[in-house]
Amino acid sequence: MAADKSFNAFEMAQTQFDRVADMLGLDSGTRELLRNPLREYHFSIPVKMDDGSVKVFQGFRVQHNDARGPAKGGIRFHPQETINTVKALSMWMTWKTAVVELPLGGGKGGVICDPHNLSQNELEQICRGWVRQIAPNVGPLSDVPAPDIMTNGQHMIWMLDEYEKIHGGRYPGFITGKPVGMGGSLGRTEATGYGVIYTVREALKKLNLDVAKTSASVQGFGNVAQYAIKLYTEMGGKVVSVACWDQNDQTSYTYKKESGITYDELIKMTDRFGGIDPKKAQAAGYEQLDGDAWLSQDVDILIPAAIENQLTGDTAGNISGQVKVVAEGANGPTTPEADKILSERGIFVIPDFLANAGGVTCSYFEQVQSNMNFFWTLEEVITRLDERMTQSFLDVYELAQRRNLYMRDAAYMISISRVAEACKLRGWV
């Protein structure tokens, strides 16, 4: 599950775009505009560490496109963060907000750091420092950040507080993923994982499969995977294995239990970063396998919900012949080489920027609620989320069927067409 340092996520994002730009016959000006970010910020964040030393962290914010509305995207804290990853993620956010018809664009941020090795005080300083460096260039009407890998509601509140100090007012719509009671939305924690399973449910209907008779293998046990497992098992599905990164060993393991894995059982043996305690897992009857073993399980559904570049030309061949659906909970988990293999095998792929769009959809709901200062019930949020994800899936599926397209290509065609049209209407191209 570790990041491949030779992998360039932005090049992959551009390759995916170029393929569909050819299919759409986009003109050269529109292509050039959409295959690169509109704006890109690099900055240093000096932090006085708990031991009295000063350490300088590198931060980023990329705004890929805001033709359809304010840029939207998370802030990721990761020791292997790169500007190319942030650029790719910002590009994928543009397509993600477009495919679910949100009036938003795409952005992404990050800091090269490892929260495992930082105190709460040091993390707070990084959060506030990130905002100080980018405050003139973000805001509720221009660019709205959110949590991502290894960031959470507490980080968002520190960032909001710093932004409000700088601008001298209350701007709860500046950032999403806030704690409930501090401008956050009910349902936001569950939204991304639930959204993945809403699309899985619809795909299984189209494949004439009963969800209660299916099994799944999941990579990751962070926020997305946790709630995907929770809802999938509530629907009657059985999760037989979960792969997680072990911070102590600096490697990943797959934990398998043929009788079925539940959210309630796993959450008791998980740290705040989604890492599973091996001793607790083995005591609970889990078999510990190597980190890639989640891919080769005899299941109906694979849910990569960790990081990018996990299904590659090298690893896709290990996927069991029983697998019928791949639902991409993570951003960019499948390379173009792996896509070719999956397509040739007839595996139904729910592409990342559709499958995991539940998070940004609920972030949009939070933004709307914060700006109105009027908040919805959990039932209202989840119902709206289900409706939006279901309709977006059906839009992509209908186009794929009508034009005999791979699902990823169909989703890209819808997204890129919508963004290109917005750019054209604004007179940018």
- Counting runs of H as helices and runs of E as strands, what totals does the chain give? 14, 12
DSSP state letters, 69-122: SSEEEEEEEETT--HHHHHHHHHHHHHHHHHTT-S--EEEEEEE--GGG--HHH
Cβ-based neighbours of 13, under 8 Å, separated by 6 or more: 87, 88, 91, 92, 332
Nearest-CA neighbor of 429 among 34, 68, 20? 34
Candidate list 108, 230, 256, 257, residue with the active-site label: 108
Query: How far, CA to CA in Å, does 413 sit from each of 88, 89, 361, 368?
Result: 18, 18, 20, 27
Q: Is 87 a catalytic residue?
A: no
User: Which amino acid, one-letter code, is at 357?
Assistant: A
Contact predicate 112/65, CB 8 Å: no
Contact predicate 43/397, CB 8 Å: no
What b/e readout covers 339-348, taking b as 16+ CB neighbours within 10 angstroms? bebbeeeebb
Nearest-CA neighbor of 251 among 286, 309, 308, 290? 290
The pair of three-digit structure tokens given for residue 138, joined into one six-digit string: 């973000």
Contact predicate 190/379, CB 8 Å: no
The pair of three-digit structure tokens given for residue 45, joined into one six-digit string: 């964040």
- For residue 145, list its beta bridge partners: 73
| Catalytically active residues, by annotation | 108
